[in-house]
Structure 1
Amino acid sequence: MSKKLLAITGGFVPFNDTVTLLSYKHLRLIDADIDVVALKGPTDEGLKNVIEADLNARKFHIEYVCNYDEAVATFEKKNVIQGIFNIFKYKKECVRKSLKQDYGIVYSSSIPSFTHWAAYQVKKKNPNIKWIASFSDPLYKSPYKFDKETLNEYSLITKIGFYVYIGIYMNAWYEKIAMKYADKIIYICEEQRDFMISHYKNKDSLMNKSLIVPLNYIKDWDIYSKLMNQDLNIINEKKVFSHFGRVYGLRKIDLFLLALKELKEEEENFAEKIIFRQYGEFNSRYMKMIDNYGISDLFEFSNKISYDQVIDMMKQSDVVVLFDTILSRDELQPYLPSKSLEYILLRKEIFILTIENSPSNRIFRNLGYKPTLYELDNIKKAIKELIGNDKIEYSYDTSMYENSIATKKLKEYIESKLV
């Protein structure tokens, strides 16, 4: 059989998106040549530098079909027709490439989800090829698709755009064909796997072909060694709480903002004790709440920053913040924020706003942290403790999150199919 692997990833490093680095980490240690069919996104200079220094990067041969935003339509550009055309162009190139080479494995990534459709078409044309489908989030019955509170905030045109986007890029059918036809399914945590499998009748067979590969780090990369060797003696005039990533949809922070409002009213000079820094997209409704609550002086906002800048800002913070997906108490919560890994490596104080049935709650509690459940009194108590506490040095083993260990079973499976 072939010693070549076809990776259908959509975006790919050095483009910095949620799953581009995840795909690279899944495959970098495989003993095989890897052809990548990708969409070209903006280059993250921090990622570019570490990847160029990684000898394993040499096995990746990347072919770009078009720019990322020419296939993945945006609300600003409203280029849906162009997007659909380029999705078909992307699929066609994947199939064409698969017929020219003797590939033993085809790998698809979960964002953008039409990569699974492209891999399915490759599998149909090449029945002997083994298909590995990677999911970072569920598509079928995803709670984010049914968040009525967020939908009610949208204008009519925004709602139409939302449903068009879901129909094209997050369609449950992409998950269903992967669950049925893929030979191996990768998940990032137990809760995600259990949530997704629960919606299908053939639970036993799906469990048998499931594989959990946790979010992981590459020990030789400077960006991770910087995190793991951070200075705990940083002194800020105010306690700096920093959140990295989007605040939208079910990442609900209504009670967090109310807690800040009440604490500011209850405690003298509260604004001199804390500053909250947000890096990335922030829900406009929460911006209005901040203004209405009179807590604008507690916040600073920045656009999305490069990966190496993120690492620097994490190190300079007193507390890093994780806003989890908030569902009702009896629901299994399948989402694990991608920044969880970096926070684990930091070993510093984390404000974790979560629920009981969440992977974040399980993982961080097992490491010795005290996640904050989504209730007003809990939030106020946690903020006060984090402001008043001296810095704590956490000590726990992170070896299970090291790339070579985290991907060992995946590497063994792939290489067994390439001999």
Structure 2
Amino acid sequence: MDRKILIISYYWPPAGGPGVQRWLKFSKYLPEFGYEPHVYIPKNPSYPIVDTSLLSEISPEVKIIKKSIWEPYGIAEKLSKKNKDFKAGQFESKKKQGILSRLSVFIRGNFFIPDARKFWIKPSIKYLEKYIKNNQIDLIITSGPPHSMHLIGLGLKEKMPNIKWIADFRDPWTQISYYSQLSLTQYSDKKHKKLERKVMSNADIILSTSYSDKENFEKLGAKEVFCITNGFDSEILDANRSLKTDKFTLAYIGMLETLRNPDNLWKALEVLLKQHPDFKADFQLKFVGKIAESILDDLGDTIIIDNMVNKGYLSHSESIQEMNNSNILLITNFPEDKSKGIIPGKLFEYLATGKTILSIGPKDSDVSKIINYTHTGEHFTYDEIDSLKFFLLSEYEKWKNQIYPRTSEKINDFHRKNLTEKLVQVIKKH
């Protein structure tokens, strides 16, 4: 008989973006290892991004449970259209926020703790307590953010002490970069941190998606922490790959907010486009996804605009094709040292394409460790410009001479099936 697992998640298809991928893929492979996934999700969620193509990726062996949720985002978005961005964790720096945006952020951080999905906690605990008993489930997994999901797990653990609970942090709670942008009062800051420590100390296992987060969670009092990164799945390996492209294309796929804007890259590109006519004739900067308006406005005032293509949000399958039709794939992180542990999910899809990766972020970041381990690109800090120019010109010369990167066998460590096997090994310890 398969062991039953209850996965509590806010994000699930048709939700788009990277947050949905992790447990969609784990649940796909868990049955192969003798586990029956039950997934609890909201019936009427307010997703910032929708991608209906992901519905086809839900395994028929997954049992879906839905319960209605009330969220205040409809009201919030009437107050300020920026709230749709905040809902997705897309923050601008305080100095660029208008009065209504600052007010909305203040309300979000101080009145909705840990987040605006808090109203789903109590009814979910009541409903799931019965469901767990009726279906003989002995392991629950909560996936956050939103961290309200972890408070559902905490409530169930308090009512059912014998149940095993894994809290999976796709992103940190109080240690995430935009936490400082929430304009928290001293009381609210203490409340966030108190709830975080309570989750850390009561969950049987904490999962992190990065090596640095694992260390930080241990410092917060977690019993046992295991790092299982995100990964890629077979559809990326199976997609049509373009070795030769009509343009030497640098692509950014996904969401890019102001706080992760690589100004030094744009400066390097401006110089190259002005000084090298052949580079300007062949180069293309391609955006696929949601790019902050402020970034697009700034680029619009530079020479880069002549070589820029913005395709907007595309489905996951279309985005993969755009990765394959590029030469260099750009990934950026927040510049602060405390962001070293952030590993955007798209990194692993980038790895699977075999394309060269250009990473910009803090020194000695977890992203740079993975790129170095797999020999798939170069990492730069936000202070570097000359080295960036050299890298881009070097890659451009390779493109002109049709010298293509070799796919590293080490990327297989990050295939979703291999990562699910790693998850199963963690579960079996309990």
State the match for 1:59 in structure 2.
62
Partner of 2:424: 411
* CA distances 1:275-327 after superposition (whole Å, capped 9, x unpaired): 11112232344334323333211222232211011011111112221123322
State the secondary structure of the residue aligned to 1:371: strand
Moved more, 331-340 or 62-71: 62-71
Task: Using the TM superposition, give the Cα deviation of residue 267 of structure 1 relative to its aligned residue in structure 2, in angstroms.
Answer: 1.9
Whether contact under 8 Å (2:140, 2:163) holds in the other structure is yes
The aligned counterpart of 2:95 is none
Tell me which residue corresponds to 1:230.
241
Return the offset for 1:88: 4.6
TM-score, structure 1 normalization:
0.80
Q: Which of the numbers 279, 299, 303 marks the counterpart of 2:312?
A: 303
1:115-139 Cα deviation digits (max 9, x unpaired): 1112111211212111111112212
Higher relative contact order (CA 8 A, sep 6+): 1
The root-mean-square deviation of aligned C-alpha atoms, in Å, is 3.3
After TM superposition, the structure 1 = structure 2 runs for residues 61-210 of structure 1, keeping only pairs within 5 Å, are 61-66=64-69, 74=77, 75-76=80-81, 87-101=117-131, 102=133, 103-146=137-180, 171-198=192-219, 200=220, 202=221, 206=222, 209-210=224-225
- CA positional deviation for 1:70: 5.0
The 2-side partners of 1:195 and 1:295 are apart by: 39
Structure 2 gap segments, 5+ residues each: 84-103
Shift of 1:98: 2.4
Q: How far apart are 1:171 and its partner, in Å?
A: 4.3
Aligned length: 383
Deviation at 1:113, TM superposition (A): 1.6
Q: Which amino acid aligns with 2:117?
A: I
Partner of 1:155: none
Judge conservation of contact 1:239–1:387 (CA < 8 Å) in 2.
Answer: yes
Give the letter for the 2:120 counterpart.
Y
Which consecutive segments of 4 or more residues in structure 1 shift more than 4 A? 67-75, 77-86, 170-174
SS in 1 for 2:375: coil
After superposition, the Cα gap between the structure-2 partners of 1:351 and 1:67, relative to the gap in structure 1 and judged at 3 Å, is farther
Alpha-carbon distance, 1:347 to partner: 0.7
What is the Cα deviation at residue 224 of structure 1? Answer: 2.5
The residue identity in structure 1 corresponding to 2:236 is Y
Q: Tell me: CA distance 1:283–1:273, structure 2 relative to 1, closer, same or farther (3 Å).
A: same
Take 1:415 and 1:100, find their aligned partners in 2: how far apart are those partners?
25
1:410/1:349 CA distance change after superposition, 3 Å: closer
Q: Offset of 1:210 from its aligned partner?
A: 1.0
Is residue 361 from structure 1 mapped to residue 376 from structure 2 by the alignment?
Answer: no
Cα distance, 1:340 vs structure 2? 0.6
Which residue in the other structure is 1:216 paired with? 231
- When the two structures are superposed, what TM-score results if normalisation uses the length of structure 2? 0.78
Tell me the CA shift for residue 248 of structure 1: 1.8
Measured in 2, the distance between the counterparts of 1:86 and 1:268 equals 51
Say which SS state the counterpart of residue 295 (structure 1) adopts.
Answer: helix
Contact 1:364–1:370 under 8 Å retained in 2:
yes
Cα distance, 1:365 vs structure 2: 1.2
- What secondary structure sits across from 2:252 in the alignment? strand
Whether the 8 Å contact between 1:239 and 1:273 is mirrored in structure 2 is: yes
> Relative to 1, partners in 2 of residues 1:210 and 1:354: Cα closer, same or farther, differing over 3 Å?
same
Match of 2:286 in 1: 277
Q: Deviations over 1:244-264 (max 9, x none)?
A: 112224423111111112222
Identity of aligned residues (%): 18
Runs of at least 5 residues in structure 1 that lack an aligned partner in the other structure:
152-158
